[in-house]
Structure 1
Amino acid sequence: MKGILLVNLGSPDTPNPKDVKRYLGEFLMDERVIDVPLWARTLLVKGIILNTRPKASAKAYKKIWWDEGSPLIVLSERLQEKVQNKVDYPVALAMRYGSMTLKNGLQELVDKGCTEIKTIPLYPQFAMATTETIDVKIDELVAEHFPQVKITRTPAFYKREDYINALSASIGEVLNGLDYEHILFSYHGVPERHIRKSDVTNGNCKMDGKCCFKKGSPQHEFCYRHQCEITTINVAKKLGLKNGTYSTTFQSRLGFDPWLKPYTDRTIERMGKEGIKKMAIVTPAFVSDCLETLEEIAMEGEEIFHEVGGEEFTVIPCLNERDDFAQVLTNIIEEWAKTPENAMV
């Protein structure tokens, strides 16, 4: 029997510092999030970050917390329900970090009789710190606890036509009739070294802004920067955006190593100082609104823009539980189920 496991990032159980600290500890100790030797990661995370950051992060979470709970969890559950209503297979939801564990999600499907499970990380673009860490953890859990289960992974879906159509529609609905001068496509940032580590060509990636657009490069299958750039380009084409009215930026950097540029916060500040008065911003690396979109972008980003003279700052929601996005996931599931190797299962 087939089953589907949708996987998102995760969230603290509550916005209280104790729960936030527990969540941050699990998240930041992941070797694919902070990819330094264990001793250095332990010193950084447990010796410094967890002694300073949880209180500030808890305040940020409190700003965006809903009565129903964490926005990311609530929105993911709504999406799961919509997908479940569209397919005949059991659909479970799990998080990479936090109490909604991958093990519990797999166990839920196994308890329903599933022996073949398709995992769908809810990330349109591949990254070492998102999709890869999910795939690796799933493999570990299956080997240890569910050896009878066959796992099928889902490739990054950033260039699927139905996804681009859904993302473009969500943006177009806000931009239609909106008087704006520039739209930022802000993606979650990662260290530049993550891009190099994911380069299957072992050195073809030059981080020079050129190889991302070279057609047919094999590293593009696992290059986060390329996939972000192409997402922006495809949406811009779909919406008919004019050159110079949109750009790609990256947010949420940590530490002193170089991260993907240009940075979102500095771009917002620069454009405001240059006289841009009306800006729109969308965050296509996230499918569910969360701390990074609701607080970092919608609150901190707007504050930066207004401080430097900007007037109107329009934040476009993530895809969340939109019907067209639920249909994208449904299409992915149905295409998998119809492949020859699955047709008779």
Structure 2
Amino acid sequence: MRKGVLLVNLGSPDSPTSKDVKPYLDEFLMDERVIDVNPILRNIIVRGIILNTRPKRSAKAYAKIWWEEGSPLIIISERFTEKVRQHTSLPIALGMRYGSMSIKGALQELKDQGVDDVLLVPLYPHYAMSSYETVVVKAMQDQQAYFPEMKLTTLPAFYHNQDYIKVLSKSIKEGLANFDYDHILFSYHGIPERHIRKSDPTKFHCKIDGKCCSINSVAHHTCYRHQCYATTEMVKKELGLDSEKVSTSFQSRLGSDPWLQPFTDKEFERLAEEGRKKLAVITPAFVSDCLETLEEIAMEGKEEFEEAGGEEFIHISCLNDRDDWASLMSQWITDWQTEEKLPV
């Protein structure tokens, strides 16, 4: 069997226009692992309500961060993929969970190169229904429907891999080098609380009460909340950060159901009102800068913090196409290629 690698990120509309944003949002929000309600209700919410108003607003947000070459997330992902290729002899394809750069198309690209043994790499450090899991399920569906001769092996969520933590910590240290911060906020993408409970294999451990995340359990393998807090703690330890100057929050909530708290926008207000004047924000749920980091945090977040009384604000870039990050991914691929070994 010939081995190959499929890297998968979130995706992007083809352009920052309502015409292209609308079908992208339709595919994204109609995903049963993103809005996990009755299909009829999901159709009413998405196609009857959201898609009548949100595409225009989202298109304006995309336009604010769009690069001359195209979508930042797509361009960064392509640059990262090319760097990984330089460190390995295996065929490597890039696909997106949503949008025109499909997973099916990427698998076809690998098949055309004679690949029938694929390492699937969801480019998400943490496990969540609406990110990591939906990539795995979609890849398996496409593989079984169109490429039944292929074998798929999935890279686990790598949030606790020590080499990853070192790379992440180094990028944060470099980002803080010339900034005399008085607080660092680790902002992770939010998810509904019900997703935590649905992902709990024990069906009783996850209570989202501030205690269960610190009690060892098999549930932690699929608990997004635990993994986010664990990431913050591991980076704090690696960099020797003062616990009084570090906190964790969750951004990008949708709808009125309970979502993970504290909310990032509310933390911007609270920290400023408490006298934290110089704020650094990290977004470790993403490996590539995108709408949620470049617009929601670096632009809107900065404005919210300053309006509440803050004075200086920086967003530390995601890992993007850093050489050490590409080198680490290449090492994981080589370990799988030569030893059938994956990071745990």
TM over 0.5: same fold? yes
Q: Contact 2:335 / 2:341 at 8 angstroms: preserved in 1?
A: no
Residue of structure 2 equivalent to 1:50: 51
What is the DSSP-based 3-state SS (H/G/I as helix, E as strand, rest coil) of the residue aligned with 2:271? helix
Q: Contact 2:127 / 2:133 at 8 angstroms: preserved in 1?
A: yes
What is the DSSP-based 3-state SS (H/G/I as helix, E as strand, rest coil) of the residue aligned with 2:119? strand
CA–CA separation in structure 1 for the residues paired with 2:175 and 2:135: 32
Residue of structure 2 equivalent to 1:90: 91
What is the DSSP-based 3-state SS (H/G/I as helix, E as strand, rest coil) of the residue aligned with 1:281? strand
**For residue 255 of structure 1, what is the amino acid of its counterpart?**
G
TM-score w.r.t. length of structure 2 = 0.98
CA–CA separation in structure 2 for the residues paired with 1:298 and 1:100: 26
CA–CA separation in structure 1 for the residues paired with 2:20 and 2:211: 43
Q: Contact 2:188 / 2:250 at 8 angstroms: preserved in 1?
A: yes
Residue of structure 2 equivalent to 1:205: 206
Residue of structure 1 equivalent to 2:246: 246
Q: Contact 2:119 / 2:152 at 8 angstroms: preserved in 1?
A: yes
Residue of structure 2 equivalent to 1:117: 118
* Structure 1 residue ranges (4+ consecutive) displaced by more than 6 angstroms after TM superposition: none
1:74 aligns with 2:75: yes
What is the DSSP-based 3-state SS (H/G/I as helix, E as strand, rest coil) of the residue aligned with 1:313? strand
1:74-94 deviation digits (Å, cap 9, x = unpaired)? 000000000000011001000
1:155-210 deviation digits (Å, cap 9, x = unpaired)? 00001111101100010012124211000000000000000000011111111111
What is the DSSP-based 3-state SS (H/G/I as helix, E as strand, rest coil) of the residue aligned with 2:148? coil
1:133-160 deviation digits (Å, cap 9, x = unpaired)? 1111111111111000000011000011
What is the DSSP-based 3-state SS (H/G/I as helix, E as strand, rest coil) of the residue aligned with 1:178? coil
Taking structure 1 as reference, are residues 341 and 321 closer, same or farther at Cα in structure 2, changes over 3 Å only?
closer
1:159 aligns with 2:160: yes
1:302 aligns with 2:302: yes
Residue of structure 1 equivalent to 2:223: 223
CA–CA separation in structure 2 for the residues paired with 1:187 and 1:164: 16
CA–CA separation in structure 1 for the residues paired with 2:206 and 2:34: 20
**For residue 195 of structure 2, what is the amino acid of its counterpart?**
H
CA–CA separation in structure 1 for the residues paired with 2:211 and 2:331: 33
Taking structure 1 as reference, are residues 190 and 278 closer, same or farther at Cα in structure 2, changes over 3 Å only?
same
1:118-138 deviation digits (Å, cap 9, x = unpaired)? 000000001100111111111
Taking structure 1 as reference, are residues 80 and 262 closer, same or farther at Cα in structure 2, changes over 3 Å only?
same
Residue of structure 1 equivalent to 2:331: 331
Deviation of 1:231 after TM superposition, in Å, equals 0.5
Residue of structure 1 equivalent to 2:292: 292
Taking structure 1 as reference, are residues 212 and 179 closer, same or farther at Cα in structure 2, changes over 3 Å only?
same
1:311 aligns with 2:311: yes
TM-score w.r.t. length of structure 1 = 0.97
Residue of structure 1 equivalent to 2:277: 277
Residue of structure 2 equivalent to 1:193: 194
Deviation of 1:340 after TM superposition, in Å, equals 5.5
Query: Greater CA deviation, 202-211 or 31-40?
Result: 202-211
Residue of structure 2 equivalent to 1:268: 268
Query: Greater CA deviation, 169-178 or 11-20?
Result: 169-178
What is the DSSP-based 3-state SS (H/G/I as helix, E as strand, rest coil) of the residue aligned with 1:156? coil
Residue of structure 2 equivalent to 1:150: 151
Pairing 1:17-32 to 2, within 5 Å after superposition: 17-32=18-33
Task: State the aligned residue count.
Answer: 341
Deviation of 1:2 after TM superposition, in Å, equals 0.3
Pairing 1:3-18 to 2, within 5 Å after superposition: 3-18=4-19
CA–CA separation in structure 2 for the residues paired with 1:198 and 1:340: 27
Residue of structure 1 equivalent to 2:104: 103
CA–CA separation in structure 2 for the residues paired with 1:22 and 1:338: 41
Q: Flag structure 1 segments of 5+ consecutive residues without an equivalent.
A: none
Deviation of 1:338 after TM superposition, in Å, equals 2.4
**For residue 65 of structure 2, what is the amino acid of its counterpart?**
I
CA–CA separation in structure 2 for the residues paired with 1:208 and 1:182: 25
Taking structure 1 as reference, are residues 341 and 286 closer, same or farther at Cα in structure 2, changes over 3 Å only?
closer
**For residue 81 of structure 1, what is the amino acid of its counterpart?**
E
1:35-94 deviation digits (Å, cap 9, x = unpaired)? 001000000000000001000000000000000000000000000000000011001000
**Identity score, percent:** 60
Residue of structure 2 equivalent to 1:140: 141
CA–CA separation in structure 1 for the residues paired with 2:73 and 2:227: 23
1:257 aligns with 2:257: yes
**For residue 331 of structure 2, what is the amino acid of its counterpart?**
N
RMSD, aligned CA: 1.1
CA–CA separation in structure 2 for the residues paired with 1:324 and 1:66: 24
